[in-house]
Amino acid sequence: MRKGMKVWAAAALILMLAGMPAVFTQGQQAADDSYEIVTVVKITGIPWFNRLEEGVDAAAKELGINAYQIGPADADPAQQVKMVEDLISKKVDAITITPNDATALEPVFRKAREEGILIITHESPDQMGKDVDIELIDNVAFAQRSWDMLVEGMGTSGQYAIFVGGLTVPLHNLWADEGIKYAQEKYPDLELVTSRIPCGEDQELSKQKTLELLKTYPDLKGIVGFGSLGPPGAAQALKEKGLAGKVAVVGTVIPGHAAPYLKEGSMTKGILWDPKDAGYAMNWVAKYMLDGGDFRSLKEIPGVGPVSVEGDIIKVDAMVDITKENVDSFGF
């Protein structure tokens, strides 16, 4: 009797394990004749890429494609390579991807294209091995706009500091480089008090660093923060010290997060592009190209905006200012 029970238990376990993969796969069971377009993001489970997924889902619904999003649990290039390899064996029609590491992905991109799979990248303009890259902002214009915003808040002269997410995050440091260069030409009276501080991905640390900056440079008049947690941390510190509105705070923020600080006046303005647009645009372009369209003759992505094509990069100007007036209209 007991032995019989054990056999049954084992059989049940095996059945359960066999059923498991189906539980974890998401949304791949669509009609066979529609294009299968997979978006691979840098990391899953953070607000930015959750918002991007909304764009992917919107494209799937509106364009009649089988589009869905996957990504590693942490920002690991090796896992992205593995995912692309799996998608090649699965023979999908197109892969749209925000690479964690441009170089690491180059070989699998070539392999995918040999198999006839379309590769569309995002946030990786210098990527090798792709078919086409889509950028939602012009990085130089983005940096310059950030500094213009800073000047709107603090005036054309005075001391300011820069926060970045990390000293090796490519985009943040590119923006900082471009912004400093721009400031030297256009706003020569701005004085950067110290080298960029790597705290922008940690709100508590940004708050602490702002408190320290205020004690070290009492005349500080502005902070530019890249990495979505820098400006809120700075705003919190200013509020605590009764300096809300007296020191300008601008930078990249998630609207839903920045709303209270913008409304109470401790944050001046935010700047961003909507990742949902990126998710939608990548899938729209993928379908357009799979249908035989040529991206060089592309003039507009419906619902996202007019585009300009430079080489194999499609640029859309989707940069938006986030102010206390419009902050509630973004929906993320």
Partner 1 sequence: MKKLMARHETYVLTIIVIFSIVISIINPNFLTLENTFDLLKSYAFTGILAIGVLLVLISGGIDISFAAVATIAEYLTVSVCIAMGGSMVSAFLLAIAVGVLLGSVNGLLIHRFSIPPIITTIATMNLYYGLLIVITKGKWIYALPDFFRSFADVRVITLQTANGIPYGLSVITVIWIILMVITALMLKYTRLGRSIYAVGGDRISANRVGLNVAGIQVFVYGFMGAMAAVAGIVQALLVQTVAPNSIVGKELNVIAAVVLGGASLAGGIGTVFGTFLGVMLLAIVQNGMTLMKVSAVWYDVFVGLVIIISVGFSSWKQKTGGRRVKIDVREDLPELAAAYGGSGTDTERENH
By CB under 8 A, name the binding residues for partner 1.
44-47, 50, 73, 167, 194-198, 202-204, 207-209, 211-213, 215-216, 232-233, 236, 241-243, 254, 256-257, 259-260
Pick the closer one to partner 1 by CB: 94 or 224: 224
- In angstroms, give the least distance from the CB of 31 to partner 1: 26
- In angstroms, give the least distance from the CB of 94 to partner 1: 25
- In angstroms, give the least distance from the CB of 72 to partner 1: 12
Count other Cβ atoms within 10 Å, centred on residue 107.
14
Pick the closer one to partner 1 by CB: 258 or 289: 258
Instruction: Using DSSP, state whether 45 is helix, strand or coil.
Output: coil
Pick the closer one to partner 1 by CB: 199 or 286: 199
Pick the closer one to partner 1 by CB: 7 or 23: 23
The β-bridge partners of 133 are 121, 313
- In angstroms, give the least distance from the CB of 216 to partner 1: 5
Pick the closer one to partner 1 by CB: 54 or 93: 54
Q: What is the dihedral of CA 128, 134, 138, 142, to 10 degrees?
A: -110
Q: Residue 123: which H helix or E strand, with range?
A: none
C-beta pairs of 188-193 under 8 Å, 24+ apart in sequence: 189/156, 189/157, 189/158, 190/147, 190/150, 190/151, 190/156, 190/157, 190/158, 190/160, 191/158, 191/159, 191/160, 192/159, 192/160, 192/161, 192/162, 193/159, 193/160, 193/161, 193/217, 193/220
- In angstroms, give the least distance from the CB of 213 to partner 1: 6
